[in-house]
Structure 1
Amino acid sequence: MNKRVALSWSGGKDSCMALDVLKGKGIEVACFITTVPREIGRTFGHGEKMSLVKLQGEALNIPVEFISCTFEDYTLSFETVLKRIKEEYGLDGIAFGDLYLEGHREWGEKVAESANLEAIYPLWGKKEDALQALQTFIESGYQAVVIRVREDILDDSWLGKRLDFTFLDDIKMKEICPMGESGEYHTFVFDGPLFNKKIVLTQPEIISLETTKKLEFLHYELKQKETLNG
């Protein structure tokens, strides 16, 4: 019997590639898990609107389980919801899109253990593999846009950039992780091989969130994907 897992979902390139790898291994992703601290009313880390993450779930035909929490009780809330959805979805494990940060993995393994679930890291590798990981994403057929940058590292001219080979060349020139593993930048995936519909993002504006700049889309909708005839 195939494994059934929940996937920690940010809406960005890492979690999307984790989904792609899991599916390729025949592992069923039963649901996404996305944390929403009440202090900000947006997704943790990426600062994205819940409505856009819901749209991704709809486009991928995977339900999204939002974890309402505070920064103070973040871990406890995660563990509590994880235990509930383990029973609800019949889960064997929980997967994360982390690449190489040991502290992130230790946390994920801890919360998985609290629910007696396997912690799965389909993208795990070494820091020096990050550039190749970015190239793999670009070649995968998924479409993503930069939606958030740390002001002390990247200016707001990076907002709205598509992850393509031009982006790959540009990011090589910066002394940062090419995948933005330490939060240098965040992305939003809006189309790709597993998407049944694509998300059309329009009316962008730049807003400030803490020490970052965020690209906010005022209008977004699902659209049917074009099919090739013949």
Structure 2
Amino acid sequence: MSDADGTWVSLFSGGKDSSWALYQALEEGLEVSRLVTVHPAGDSYMYHVPATDLAALAAESIGIPLVDVEPDDFEAAEAADSGVQGDDELEPLEAALTDLGDELEGGIAGVTAGAVESEYQTSRIRGMCDRLGCELFAPLWQEAPRELADEMLEAGFEIAIIQVAAAGLDESWLGRTLDHEAIADLEALHEEYGVHILGEGGEFETFVVDGPHMDRRIDLEYETEWDGTRGRVRITDAQLE
């Protein structure tokens, strides 16, 4: 896909979208040498938030080294000035990728991202890639949600729902597997409440416990936390099978 020197870096949370972008990059023959996980301190407009600490277990199963980015790690770092209000969240990631580009032989050829419909997210990542002088691979961008969901399942992804925050999604969805039956239910909820089939905008969040790019399935033990309108699973144990 690219004649550029260097290897690829995959923005990775362990959720379905970033996992699908990584899988598609590997299927395209792109050499992905690092996974990069940002751990937001709280709610985030830019990043997948829940259970990012599980990304290390997923990376071990995938067999690609993981780089963790904690916002506080780069408070004193001199990241490129985006010139756009609201890009503060991007600066720790950009600083980390700048450092990583210096470490990797040939630098960074490109970055994979799992953005589906968020112009806010995609425009900022694209701008960052422009400043870093690398390509952006975003295979989910503006694709039909139902087709993407079906492709993930047909490829063999096993996807767990770990957080919900939308009308129509009750406590029974916590820990539920995103299978064909769940997708059909989400389509009905889309008609009734406007719920996005892929949970775009944080309506629900996921974690991929198994897939064709993973050597070992991840077994999760958890408890559910529900406040009456939204909830999440609290992981009590996670291990590779």
Length-normalised TM-score, structure 2: 0.82
In the alignment, the residues of structure 2 paired with residue 201 and residue 81 of structure 1 have an alpha-carbon distance, to the nearest angstrom, of 30
1:68 and 2:70 aligned: yes
The alpha carbon displacement at 1:143 in A equals 0.7
Question: Residue 98 of structure 2 corresponds to which residue in structure 1?
Answer: 83
SS state at 1:160 partner: coil
In the alignment, the residues of structure 2 paired with residue 22 and residue 218 of structure 1 have an alpha-carbon distance, to the nearest angstrom, of 32
The sequence identity of aligned pairs, in percent, is 27
Question: Residue 61 of structure 2 corresponds to which residue in structure 1?
Answer: 59
State whether residues 79 and 114 of structure 1, in contact with CA within 8 Å, keep that contact through their aligned partners in structure 2: no
Q: Which stretch shifts more, 18-27 or 31-40? A: 31-40
After superposition, the C-alpha distances for 1:22-48 in whole angstroms (9 at most, x for unaligned) are: 1111001111111113458xx943321
In the alignment, the residues of structure 2 paired with residue 208 and residue 193 of structure 1 have an alpha-carbon distance, to the nearest angstrom, of 32
Length-normalised TM-score, structure 1: 0.85
The alpha carbon displacement at 1:92 in A equals 0.5
Q: Which segments of 5 or more consecutive residues in structure 2 lack a partner in the other structure?
A: 73-85
Question: Residue 105 of structure 1 corresponds to which residue in structure 2?
Answer: 122
State whether residues 151 and 213 of structure 1, in contact with CA within 8 Å, keep that contact through their aligned partners in structure 2: no
* Counterpart residue type for residue 105 of structure 1: T
The alpha carbon displacement at 1:49 in A equals 4.7
Question: Residue 228 of structure 1 corresponds to which residue in structure 2?
Answer: none
1:130 and 2:148 aligned: no
* Counterpart residue type for residue 207 of structure 1: E
Question: Residue 34 of structure 2 corresponds to which residue in structure 1?
Answer: 31
In the alignment, the residues of structure 1 paired with residue 223 and residue 218 of structure 2 have an alpha-carbon distance, to the nearest angstrom, of 17
In the alignment, the residues of structure 2 paired with residue 212 and residue 30 of structure 1 have an alpha-carbon distance, to the nearest angstrom, of 37
In the alignment, the residues of structure 2 paired with residue 38 and residue 16 of structure 1 have an alpha-carbon distance, to the nearest angstrom, of 22
In the alignment, the residues of structure 2 paired with residue 187 and residue 193 of structure 1 have an alpha-carbon distance, to the nearest angstrom, of 17
1:207 and 2:225 aligned: yes
1:177 and 2:196 aligned: yes
In the alignment, the residues of structure 1 paired with residue 49 and residue 169 of structure 2 have an alpha-carbon distance, to the nearest angstrom, of 15
Q: Which stretch shifts more, 68-77 or 113-122? A: 68-77
Bigger share in strand? 1
Aligned length: 216
State whether residues 25 and 137 of structure 2, in contact with CA within 8 Å, keep that contact through their aligned partners in structure 1: no
Misfit runs of 4+, over 3 Å = 70-73
In the alignment, the residues of structure 2 paired with residue 86 and residue 153 of structure 1 have an alpha-carbon distance, to the nearest angstrom, of 44
State whether residues 3 and 27 of structure 1, in contact with CA within 8 Å, keep that contact through their aligned partners in structure 2: no
In the alignment, the residues of structure 2 paired with residue 3 and residue 99 of structure 1 have an alpha-carbon distance, to the nearest angstrom, of 26
RMSD of aligned Cα (Å) = 2.3
In the alignment, the residues of structure 1 paired with residue 50 and residue 226 of structure 2 have an alpha-carbon distance, to the nearest angstrom, of 10
SS state at 2:217 partner: strand
1:12 and 2:6 aligned: no
State whether residues 61 and 216 of structure 2, in contact with CA within 8 Å, keep that contact through their aligned partners in structure 1: yes
In the alignment, the residues of structure 2 paired with residue 158 and residue 39 of structure 1 have an alpha-carbon distance, to the nearest angstrom, of 23
**Cα separation, partners in 2 of 1:66 and 1:222, compared to 1, 3 Å:** same
* Counterpart residue type for residue 173 of structure 1: A
After superposition, the C-alpha distances for 1:87-121 in whole angstroms (9 at most, x for unaligned) are: 22331011101122222210111111222221221
